[in-house]
Amino acid sequence: MRVLAAMSGGVDSAVAAALAVDAGHDVTGVHLALSPDRQTLRSGARGCCSVEDAHDARRVADELGIPFYVWDLADRFREDVVEDFVAEYAAGRTPNPCLRCNERIKFTAVLDRARALGFDAVVTGHHARLADGRLRRSVDAAKDQSYVLGVLTAEQLAGARFPLGSMTKERVRAIAAERGFAVATKPDSHDVCFIPDGDTRGFLTRRLGTAPGPVVDAATGTTVGSHEGTHGFTVGQRRGLGLAVGDQRPRYVLSIEPVTRTVTVGTAELTGVDVVRTGPPTWTGPAPALPLRAEVQLRAHGTPVGCTVEAAPDGGLVLTLARTERGVAPGQSAVLYAPDPVHGDLVLGQAPVAR
Ligand SMILES: Nc1ncnc2c1ncn2[C@@H]1O[C@H](COP(=O)(O)OP(=O)(O)OP(=O)(O)O)[C@@H](O)[C@H]1O
């Protein structure tokens, strides 16, 4: 089989590529140049896009004796991931850019190009299991990335290979060390690769400017503070509100209204949600019959909760939760799982949280 190994320059994709070579596949490595300002990300920034990362990936490819290319997908990444990220925040929602990148870059742009070039599959270092075409959680629960892959369709998954799903991160690093890869001890990548300093609010303010508005307390309807732009907030957020409320009880963001620029806050008991409404779902396999009992994960690294999944007349889903959840943010994906402790929880699909 001819496979294209997506090599970020990190330890996971180095080992994934090595395992593909061991499995006897005809492997070609590719590093994706995704940042428009790669030079500025040179020192210390461990993202998806620095020049150092490209060098690290090339070095591993050389050690494996496989051909290696760099594909410049910076424009595509900017349009499909970064602009989407900015637009979603501008609309008062909280996007997950890794999920978008998997959907639109790795398993659309890259997979399409790979198929056009005659490759049978794209190999990545994602921590998730993929067997018989079905996507499942990784053996390593702490490193599991099935959430950010839950948006992929059966057709996309048919062209994906995740060799690391059945091993722990510890094992991955041990394999890298045994093989003498310099990246064996390289730190894990950053949360949002195109915001290397981690200052999301600053990044968004540079893009969207300042747009002051009120912070309103839900219980009293009174204005308890002000802000420089609704894009600085996420539903469920507690820190950084800087409010002047009489009592000492912490406030959380309940809703974000970008048109009136109003951020509404409330005390903890007001943050609970028992029913989640979503936009239209995507499925990783055949669309399941609804209603359905499943588990739903409402954010990356969130704890799954039991739910009933029903179809809504508008084409979305209605998720009735078995337990009250706090801080459910519109724009995040509700990823649906069928629990399976033996083979790993099966990812059924996902739908964007609407409200
Ligand atoms: N710039 C890139 N070029 C090529 N492949 C990439 C790039 N960024 C990510 N990938 C692929 O997507 C996978 C998951 O990306 P993620 O950013 O989550 O990295 P990770 O889990 O830290 O893995 P790694 O240790 O390989 O960086 C990587 O293992 C790799 O196969």
pLDDT tens digits, 270-317: 999 999 999 999 999 999 999 999 999 999 999 999 999 999 999 999
Long-range contacts of 191-199 (CB under 8 A, 24+ apart): 192/85, 192/97, 192/98, 193/34, 193/35, 193/47, 193/48, 193/49, 194/34, 194/35, 194/47, 194/48, 194/49, 194/77, 194/81, 194/82, 194/85, 194/97, 196/41, 196/45, 196/46, 196/47
6 is in an annotated binding site: yes
In angstroms, how far is the first alpha carbon of the chain from the final one? 44
Q: Is 48 a catalytic residue?
A: no
| 60 marked among binding-site residues | no
Residue 80 has pLDDT above 90, yes or no: yes
How many Å lie between the centroid of ligand 1 and the Cα of residue 7?
6
18-56 per-residue burial string, b: 16 or more CB within 10 A, e: under 16: bbbbeeebebbbbbbbbbeebeebeeebbbbbbbbbbeb
pLDDT at 243 over 90: no
Residue 251 near residue 217, CB atoms below 8 Å: yes
Going from N- to C-terminal start, the domains of the chain cover 2-185, 210-266, 271-352
Window from 17-26, 89-98, 247-256 with minimum mean pLDDT: 247-256
Residue 46 CB less than 6 A away from ligand 1: no
| pLDDT given for residue 245 in this prediction | 73
78 pLDDT exceeds 60?
Answer: yes
Enter the tokens of residue 183.
């990246």
The CATH classification number of 210-266 equals 2.30.30.280
What are the CA-CA distances from residue 136 to residues 23, 50, 333 (Å)? 21, 30, 17
Task: State yes or no: pLDDT of 41 exceeds 90.
Answer: no
Q: Distance from CA of residue 122 to its chain's centroid?
A: 18
Report the CATH number of the 271-352 domain: 2.40.30.10
Q: Which amino acid is at 190?
A: H
Q: How far does residue 8's CA lie from ligand 1's centre (Å)?
A: 4
- Mean pLDDT value across residues 56-85: 97
The reported pLDDT for the residue numbered 239 is 84
| Pocket-testing residue among 3, 4, 11, 12, ligand 1, by greatest number of atoms within 8 A of Cβ | 12
CB atoms within 10 A of CB 340: 12
* Nearest atom, ligand 1, residue 124 CA: 31
- For residues 186-205, give the mean pLDDT: 90
**Does 43 have pLDDT greater than 50?**
no
Measured from the Cα of 14, ligand 1's closest atom is 26
- Rounded mean pLDDT of 85-95? 97
Instruction: Report ipTM (2 d.p.).
Output: 0.98
Residue 38 has pLDDT above 80, yes or no: no
- Kindly report the length of the chain: 355
Query: What mean pLDDT do residues 226-249 have?
Result: 87
Catalytic residue among 48, 49, 98, 101: 101
Residue nearest ligand 1's atom 2 by CA: 8
**Residue 241: which pLDDT band, with cuts at 50, 70 and 90?**
confident
The predicted structure's pLDDT at residue 37: 64
Residue 114 to residue 29: CA distance in whole angstroms = 11
- Summarised one tens digit per residue, pLDDT across range 259-278 is 999 999 999 999 999 999 99
Q: Is residue 27 pLDDT above 50, yes or no?
A: yes
Q: Could you tell me the two tokens for 173?
A: 């690093």
Residue 46 has pLDDT above 70, yes or no: no
pLDDT tens track for 2-14: 999 999 999 999 9
SS3 354: coil
What's 236's DSSP letter? T
Which residue do the tokens 């083979």 mark?
Answer: 343
For domain 2-185, the question of CATH label 3.40.50.970 is answered with no
Confirm whether 193 is a catalytic residue.
Answer: yes
Burial class (CB in 10 A: 0-12, 13-18, 19+), 58: middle
pLDDT band at 49 (very low <50, low <70, confident <90, very high): low
